[in-house]
Structure 1
């Protein structure tokens, strides 16, 4: 016996409360992404202006402006990301839902970028330690601002040298920037979600990763830019002393190594800038539940 197939069952009606809640969460996610992006771009723009202003400081600063330009830029960018997280849209409404989850900071850290930032920080710390140890006071008694080559019958000095006079402010500013970056990343991870809908959560995770990526890129510039400047200046001073007849045989090699480190650091600055200005591919947009079709 062949029976006639009845009409296909139609999906049941959606819960109006759930539909409205998902729609509000999607709108909140869009507001969050927009505010975070605006504040980040504002921090980037103000950082460029402030960094250039510090870089072009008066001559009485003795080059300190160039040493602190990168930390100034990174600090403004971090402040922009921080403000974006503070003013980001929070869940609204009388009824709120939440998903029990454990957010691990490692899931938001891009491994290659994180590794390069760590390498830049360690490289800067190592180079500043060496330049501080070998530096000598200049003719005005400023500590570590001169590099002295002592021979049997003469002493030759080259400066300015990136010793304690420069390395201490650079080190403290970079350390302060890194601590601020950790605080910003903590706020990014701890920010409440706009809603429990899976599409909204995916978009929210993308916004968080973009914020963490911006913070890491700022930290990369924070460390790599001073590293490039210190290495190139040190290479020039080592080359001037290597021309002396009594210079040790390893001095020219040290100068070339320092120059290579400076060039590599400049390339790293460009890479961090690219990561900062070119965002990752956007995640699929959050679709409110009332606009989905059921088959």
Structure 2
């Protein structure tokens, strides 16, 4: 007896394969970019993190596009308006938005405080004065590193918001909207959390090597270091949700 697979199961498998393919492609591209040679050792890692996040977003969006809305003979709809916030994770979504806001704020502060490095390249270091000695510590999240991060975060945010609105207003049952909205939110969160971890890592490295940070450095460390744990937790949740969205509970 020949087993037959329904079209819905085939589309579900295609959706899952697209998500896995996005993560796999992102890992390959990130590894290639991270090993790129050059005089700047930080930019390859910035490019690698950015590429991995964008590939993850692209894989989830591709999987969603492979699953068309169900074609029913008679379409019915409730009277309640469909809202995006009703389908995204109620607790993780605000947390991911907070992390994206932290990325923007930290990069804005970093760009304002940045200075040229030892050979005069702007937006790559932080000038720290200890007594009569001024040191240029880097890499620092100045405008040189902030530009690709902000551009990728803007593009990823626009694509995911458009997709979430599309899912909320197209035909289908709430369970499908729920699963796909969670996956897209997780893909965007993966992009934001990985970039936050990158930016915080740059700041933490400068604080570690600075001997004259003083009280301002201690306060900055108290704010920055907890963000590392927060971003690591979010990265784990986002990866697991992309791969197995039905297995994650947030309610």
TM-score interval (norm. to shorter): 0.7 to 0.9
- Aligned 1:132-151 pairs, distance under 5 A: 132-150=111-129
Deviation sequence 1:255-277 (CA, Å, 0-9, x none): 35423322332232223223323
Question: What residue is the counterpart of 2:26 in the other structure?
Answer: 47
Does 2:65 align with 1:99? Answer: no
Does 2:61 align with 1:82? Answer: yes
- Whether contact under 8 Å (2:15, 2:67) holds in the other structure is yes
Deviation sequence 1:191-245 (CA, Å, 0-9, x none): 444xxxxxxx3xxx3233222111111111111112112212212212322x24x
Structure 1 residue 91: Cα displacement: 4.9
Question: What SS class does the counterpart of residue 149 from structure 1 fall into?
Answer: strand
- Whether contact under 8 Å (1:185, 1:215) holds in the other structure is yes
Question: What residue is the counterpart of 1:37 in the other structure?
Answer: 16
Residue ranges of structure 2 left out of the alignment (5+ in a row): 1-5
Which of 35, 41, 55 aligns to 1:56? It is 35
Question: What SS class does the counterpart of residue 249 from structure 1 fall into?
Answer: helix
Question: What residue is the counterpart of 1:161 in the other structure?
Answer: 140
- Whether contact under 8 Å (1:221, 1:269) holds in the other structure is yes
How far apart, CA to CA, are the structure 2 residues paired with 1:160 and 1:250? 19
Aligned pairs, number: 242
Judged with a 3 Å threshold, the aligned counterparts in structure 2 of structure 1 residues 79 and 160 are, in CA distance, closer, same or farther, namely: closer
How far apart, CA to CA, are the structure 1 residues paired with 2:94 and 2:100? 10
- Whether contact under 8 Å (2:53, 2:194) holds in the other structure is no
Question: What residue is the counterpart of 2:93 in the other structure?
Answer: 114
How far apart, CA to CA, are the structure 2 residues paired with 1:225 and 1:118? 13
Judged with a 3 Å threshold, the aligned counterparts in structure 2 of structure 1 residues 208 and 117 are, in CA distance, closer, same or farther, namely: same
Judged with a 3 Å threshold, the aligned counterparts in structure 2 of structure 1 residues 122 and 91 are, in CA distance, closer, same or farther, namely: closer
Does 2:209 align with 1:240? Answer: yes
Look at both structures and tell me which one has the larger radius of gyration over its CA atoms: 1
Deviation sequence 1:73-95 (CA, Å, 0-9, x none): 23223222333333324556xx8
Question: What SS class does the counterpart of residue 76 from structure 2 fall into?
Answer: coil
User: For the aligned residues, what is the CA RMSD?
Assistant: 2.7
Question: What residue is the counterpart of 1:250 in the other structure?
Answer: 216
Does 2:179 align with 1:213? Answer: no
Deviation sequence 1:9-62 (CA, Å, 0-9, x none): xxxxxxxxxxxxxxxxxx554444333333223223222322333333333453
How far apart, CA to CA, are the structure 2 residues paired with 1:225 and 1:155? 32
Structure 1 residue 281: Cα displacement: 4.8
Does 2:229 align with 1:260? Answer: no
